[in-house]
Amino acid sequence: MVTEERVREQLKEVMDPELDINIVDLGLIYEIDTTEEGEVDILMTLTTPGCPLHGVFDEMVKREVGKIEEVNERDIEVELTFEPRWSPEKMSDEAQDELGHLPGMQGF
């Protein structure tokens, strides 16, 4: 049976193309629900509501989670929400440290 932890680990392979940090450490994944039948529902957000990468993330998330043996890509649902809105505090400490070293990112 696929677990939330397994899905979360697999999602660490999905990198934000602009920031080059995975979407889990960025804090974009809000919820992961799995079933014994291998269905996966993911509730996620983006760093900004107008992010043009919505369709790209949807495809990347489905493709990556579909690599888990017990999951069929057709049984993956990705829902996008902006409630609550994303903020830098949702990032892992490692992601905050990495972004803090990029020009213009000090203090977010």
Contact 23, 38 (CB under 8 A): no
Q: Give Cα 42 distance to the centre of its chain.
A: 9
Q: For residue 106, give every residue at least 6 positions away whose Cβ sits within 8 Å of its Cβ, in sequence order, or none.
A: 100
Task: Flag whether pLDDT at 102 surpasses 80.
Answer: no
Confidence band for 101, pLDDT divided at 50, 70 and 90: low
Residue % of the chain over a pLDDT of 70: 93
Model pLDDT, residue 18:
84
DSSP 48-92: STT-TTHHHHHHHHHHHHTTSTT--GGGEEEEE--SSPP-GGGS-
Residue 107 lies in a domain: no
Dihedral sign computed on CA atoms, order 7, 96, 103, 48: positive
Q: What is the CATH number of the domain that holds 76?
A: 3.30.300.130
Confidence band for 30, pLDDT divided at 50, 70 and 90: very high
Task: Flag whether pLDDT at 46 surpasses 60.
Answer: yes
Residue 81 lies in a domain: yes
Confidence band for 76, pLDDT divided at 50, 70 and 90: very high
Q: Is the pTM of this model over 0.75?
A: yes
Q: Which helix (H) or strand (E) holds 20?
A: none
Contact 42, 76 (CB under 8 A): yes
Domain that holds residue 95: 4-100
